[in-house]
Amino acid sequence: MIGMLSWVPPERGTGGKRTPQLREVLGMGFLEAQVLRGARTPEAILRRRAASAAKRLRRAGVTRLVLPEGFPYGAQLERAGVGPIATVPLRQLLAAELARAALARLRPSGGGRLAVAGERLSGELARAVTELALGSRYVLLDVPYGGEALAAQLRREYGVSLLLTADRTQLAEADLLVLFGPRPDLEEGGRAVLRLYDETAPLPALLLPPALEGQLPQSCSRPQLLAALVEGGALRAGQITVGQG
């Protein structure tokens, strides 16, 4: 089970240690540990309470958590043997939508060139390239192997062209470089880069239909929560809209 750590104001608490409780979000169960935090709670006490909550979750068998937005006590979690749920799988599932939103910010008038590169042709990369190629006239792909077969498939099934290249000059001319893995050879030069492998890279707003939005807790990390819900099957990636801002 995936855990959840939440701040709760003292007036809603009873003091002392709080046993983790099951909390449902969109029908998916999370084991939630609540941490009392007031406006004047000293930093040292917050650190100690967060560490204690993490230990209780770990004893309950939880190793991955949805954390409050901007949670600053990662070291305490690590020492307890727990950590935040990874958002990279969600980022890569939403790769095409994230790329289109980023390109729209760079080129508001439309058009633009996209380059996609990765260490291998994963299913997520192939799906993203397919979606992007169907909606853009200029998509470059740079992967070690498998690109030719994907290009032939897209040409045969959809009649679209995919440009294969390892030419650094062509890749440098792209308005946006979409990376599914670290590529130090491509990341220099000041071009716009979408790093889908980087947990710390900022994300635009990730929105759900209004009927679902009202069921989400508002104080936790949105990317982590959505990643957990998609992994658990409570939410489909197609239900998530990527904001333009």
> How confident is the model at residue 12, as a pLDDT?
63
* Mean pLDDT (whole number) for 53-73: 96
> How confident is the model at residue 110, as a pLDDT?
80
pLDDT exceeds 60 at position 15: no
Neighbours of 205 (CB within 10 A): 11
> How confident is the model at residue 13, as a pLDDT?
53
Neighbours of 177 (CB within 10 A): 24
Amino acid at position 77, single letter: L
Which of 22-26, 67-71, 185-189 shows the lowest mean pLDDT across its residues? 185-189
Which of 38-42, 65-69, 82-86 shows the lowest mean pLDDT across its residues? 38-42
- Residue-wise pLDDT for 120-165, tens only, equals 999 999 999 999 999 887 899 999 999 999 999 999 999 988 888 7
Structure tokens at 88: 């990279």
> How confident is the model at residue 173, as a pLDDT?
83
* C-alpha span between 245 and 130 (Å, rounded): 25
Question: How confident is the prediction for the chain on average, in pLDDT?
Answer: 91
> How confident is the model at residue 185, as a pLDDT?
79
Neighbours of 84 (CB within 10 A): 19
pLDDT exceeds 70 at position 84: yes
Let me know the angle formed at the C-alpha of 74 by 23 and 199, rounded to the nearest 5 degrees: 85
Which of 16-20, 55-59, 236-240 shows the lowest mean pLDDT across its residues? 16-20
Give me the domains of the chain, ranges plus CATH numbers: 3-85 (no CATH), 90-195 (3.40.50.720), 206-242 (no CATH)
* C-alpha span between 44 and 24 (Å, rounded): 31
> How confident is the model at residue 165, as a pLDDT?
78
> How confident is the model at residue 59, as a pLDDT?
96
The pLDDT > 90 percentage for the chain reads: 75
* Mean pLDDT (whole number) for 181-202: 86
* Mean pLDDT (whole number) for 105-110: 86
pLDDT exceeds 90 at position 57: yes
* Mean pLDDT (whole number) for 190-214: 92
Residue from 209, 207, 204 nearest 244 by CA: 204
Question: Residue 35 has what DSSP assignment?
Answer: E
- Residue-wise pLDDT for 214-230, tens only, equals 999 988 999 999 999 99
